[in-house]
Amino acid sequence: MLPKLPLADGNSMPQLGLGVYQITDQATMDQAVKAAYQTGYRLFDTAQAYQNEAILGQALKNNAIPRNQIFLTTKVAEVNQGYRNTLKSVTASLKRLQTDYLDLLLVHWPIHSQFFATWRAFERLKSEKIVRSIGVSNYHQTHLDYLASQANEQPVVNQIENHPYLSQEPLLAYHRQQQIITQAWNPLGRGVVLQDPVITKIAQQHQRSVAQIILRWHLQRGLAIIPKSKSPQRIAENAAIFDFELNADEMTNIARLNQQQRTGNDPEVVYQIE
Ligand code: NAD
């Protein structure tokens, strides 16, 4: 059984999950879900915007995976924000995923005009037990503070871009203070980080892959991770990170690689609070 992290609402969440962004055909999803489940993954991360909730739901069914054995996350897309739209879109997500509850529902990006209306819908879904935990994604501290000023339930997870070239330590420290779990998207940093010479050297010393060193670095910082792969071999490789440790110097040397390099949008710029 892979480790779980406690959430501030009393629930817990697997520290490692499979991100399924850009997996768009049924056979590939079936194979990825099967490999992940057999390896011990229990968390699957999708989003309305990925347009693959239906094939994920079907893949879980095709692989005869019991619903109560897994942790399912989806995210409300920008176009579906607002009170009524959120409720309506979650009903549609549940149908596509062939389930009657979600373990975690995230606001995909902070949209200023719908900020509190969307969150009120999230709070209602949680009170009705349609969603067990509620959180956000791509929120900066300013967004979290703004939300906290009016929310009855605080988000228990913030899913943000995080990798050695974008370590976001100040935001992570704020999360710890607020009891928010950081879940890293793009944990491997899309391509370029995987060629980094400092990490490559550490990988050679441990006889591990560069991907395994990066994922281990996240774990030791207390983050949850959702690396994406459709290859059964890489899915297994990305989970074989619980039997070795990076020392303090290695952790520091990786932390020093931070260069504020984003692969995605900067929410501070795109979704400023007026
Ligand atoms: P990632 O870091 O998981 O993957 C980056 C690349 O590395 C991919 O091309 C992948 O195929 C490759 N890779 C995976 N394992 C590897 C290995 N062992 N060796 C070499 N290469 C490997 O990046 P991602 O897909 O952007 O993020 C992961 C998940 O995060 C997504 O699937 C999605 O679920 C979620 N996500 C969320 C947001 C958001 O806004 N909340 C945005 C993007 C992605």
Residue 228 alpha carbon to ligand 1 centre in Å: 4
What the chain holds in terms of domains, given with CATH numbers, is 13-190+223-239 (3.20.20.100)
CB–CB of 32/18 below 8 Å? Answer: yes
SS3 44: strand
**Are 195 and 218 contacting, i.e. CB atoms less than 8 angstroms apart?**
no
Whose CA is closest to atom 3 on ligand 1?
A: 227
pLDDT at res. 162: 98
Instruction: Pick the closest to residue 107 from 149, 152, 48 (CA basis).
Output: 48
pLDDT, tens digit (0-9, with 9 covering 90-100), for 24-79: 999 999 999 999 999 999 999 999 999 999 999 999 999 999 999 999 999 999 99
* 28 ligand 1 Cβ < 6 A: no
Q: Is 108 flagged in the annotation as binding?
A: yes
pLDDT value at residue 137: 98
Which residue's alpha carbon is at the smallest distance from atom 12 of ligand 1? 229
Which pair of structure tokens corresponds to residue 241? 């990170």
Give me the mean pLDDT over the 208-217 stretch. 98
Give the integer Cα–Cα distance in Å for 178 and 157. 10
Give me the interface pTM, i.e. the ipTM.
Answer: 0.98
- The confidence score (pLDDT) of residue 112 equals 83
Active site residue 271: no
Which residue matches tokens 């520290």? 15
The whole-number pLDDT of residue 267 equals 82
Q: pTM value?
A: 0.97
User: Residue 159 to residues 50, 59, 115: CA-CA distances in angstroms?
Assistant: 16, 24, 17
- Judged against a pLDDT cut of 70, whether residue 274 lies above it is answered with no
Q: Read off the pLDDT band of 191 (50, 70, 90).
A: confident
Q: Please name the amino acid found at residue 143.
A: H
CA dihedral over 225, 45, 81, 150, signed as positive or negative: negative
pLDDT of residue 192: 83
Question: What is the average pLDDT across 14-25?
Answer: 98
Which is the catalytic residue, given 41, 50, 139, 165? Answer: 50
